[in-house]
């Protein structure tokens, strides 16, 4: 295999459609830290984004290695590079480990707290979620949700060790959003997960009950999003805080409406909720990034 083809297969194997969203949250945390410390640090930003990216790619690479036997049984995943045989399992294992080692070294040199959040996030995703709980309990995604919020905290603490309520609420948004996102997808691919022996919530309880659970999770996501915007009044300039509040209310309504539309016929419409959940998390943290940049440029 030519080098460019190999690199393309390896990058696709790391599921960039997944880790790009988490990278956006890490960048948002980093830009917010720069905004509240009033320091523009472009070289540090490049360095931090590099190790956030490496950590996310490395974690996904190891997850693919662990899930290889599952992926072979699922129509949605059987054409991935490892189950389809386009990459050797050792490539995913060694490549993932190298990327993670690079991440840990770089993050440790930058900030102890950032190192702690990167290392615990990787451990939660690879060991707790992928290796220990994914095949054993429906709680797998809840136990693995911390890893989704870790890049935000790692990016934020790379430049400051001062925690505040708003960063905690953003972390909670990701924690609550994660099962909404995954369980919506699991409704669509319920038979795939069942055939592979992965006990996602829609596999072990009827879809109708799963949809009721999704309402609670969607509502929780909406509420904490609005709460975070109210808290932002103490951190953002008033005109930006009110923009954040307005957009957060709109996005929260958007996700509740998407749930209502999906709940009427979940087997047909659930992917709308999945897609909206992706747009929601991406747009929210892009908004945080833009607000933080405005605070930096116009202090």
Q: CB pairs under 8 A, 24+ apart, for 283-286? A: 283/251, 284/173, 284/225, 284/248, 284/251, 285/24, 285/25, 285/27, 285/28, 285/152, 285/170, 286/24, 286/28
The string of pLDDT tens digits covering residues 151-173 is: 999 999 999 988 889 999 999 99
The string of pLDDT tens digits covering residues 124-136 is: 999 999 999 999 9
Q: Is residue 244 part of a domain?
A: yes
Q: Is residue 2 part of a domain?
A: no
Q: How many CB atoms lie within 10 A of CB 108?
A: 15
Question: Cα–Cα distances in Å, from 124 out to 53, 131, 148, 153, 179?
Answer: 17, 10, 9, 14, 15
How many domains, in total, are found in the chain? 1
Give which of 201, 208, 183, 191 is closest to 273, Cα–Cα.
183
Question: Domain containing 209: what range?
Answer: 10-297
The pLDDT of residue 1: 62
Q: Is residue 19 part of a domain?
A: yes
pTM of the model: 0.95
Give me the CATH number covering residue 204.
1.10.600
Q: Is residue 3 part of a domain?
A: no
Q: Is residue 205 part of a domain?
A: yes
Q: How far is it, in rounded angstroms, from Cα 72 to Cα 274?
A: 23
Q: Is residue 232 part of a domain?
A: yes
Question: Cα–Cα distances in Å, from 216 out to 208, 222, 241?
Answer: 13, 10, 27
Give which of 215, 252, 237, 225 is closest to 293, Cα–Cα.
237
Q: Is residue 4 part of a domain?
A: no
The string of pLDDT tens digits covering residues 212-252 is: 999 999 999 999 999 999 999 988 999 999 999 999 999 99
Q: Is residue 1 part of a domain?
A: no
């Amino acid at each position: 295999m030519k080098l460019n083809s190999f690199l393309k297969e390896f990058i696709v194997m790391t599921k960039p459609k997944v880790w790009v969203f988490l990278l956006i949250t890490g960048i948002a945390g980093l830009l917010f830290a720069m905004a509240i410390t009033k320091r523009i640090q472009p070289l540090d930003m490049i360095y931090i984004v590099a190790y956030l990216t490496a950590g996310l790619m490395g974690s996904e690479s190891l997850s693919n290695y662990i899930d290889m036997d599952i992926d072979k049984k699922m129509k949605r995943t059987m054409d991935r590079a490892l189950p389809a045989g386009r990459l050797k399992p050792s490539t995913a294992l060694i490549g993932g480990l190298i990327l993670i080692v690079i991440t840990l070294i770089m993050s440790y040199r930058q900030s102890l707290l950032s190192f702690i959040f990167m290392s615990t996030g990787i451990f939660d995703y690879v060991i707790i979620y992928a290796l220990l709980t994914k095949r054993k309990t429906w709680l797998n995604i809840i136990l693995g949700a911390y890893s989704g919020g870790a890049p935000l905290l790692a990016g934020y603490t790379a430049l400051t060790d001062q925690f505040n309520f708003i960063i905690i609420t953003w972390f909670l948004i990701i924690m609550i959003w994660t099962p909404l996102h995954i369980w919506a997808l699991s409704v669509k691919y319920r038979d795939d997960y069942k055939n592979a022996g992965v006990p996602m919530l829609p596999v072990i309880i009827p879809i109708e009950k799963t949809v009721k659970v999704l309402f609670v999770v969607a509502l929780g996501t909406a509420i904490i999003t609005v709460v975070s915007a109210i808290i932002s009044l103490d951190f953002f300039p008033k005109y930006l805080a009110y923009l954040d509040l307005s957009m957060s209310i709109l996005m929260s309504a958007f996700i509740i409406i998407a749930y209502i539309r999906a709940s009427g016929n979940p087997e047909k419409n659930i992917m709308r909720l999945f897609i909206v959940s992706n747009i929601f998390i991406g747009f929210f943290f892009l908004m945080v990034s833009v607000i933080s940049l405005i605070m930096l440029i116009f202090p």
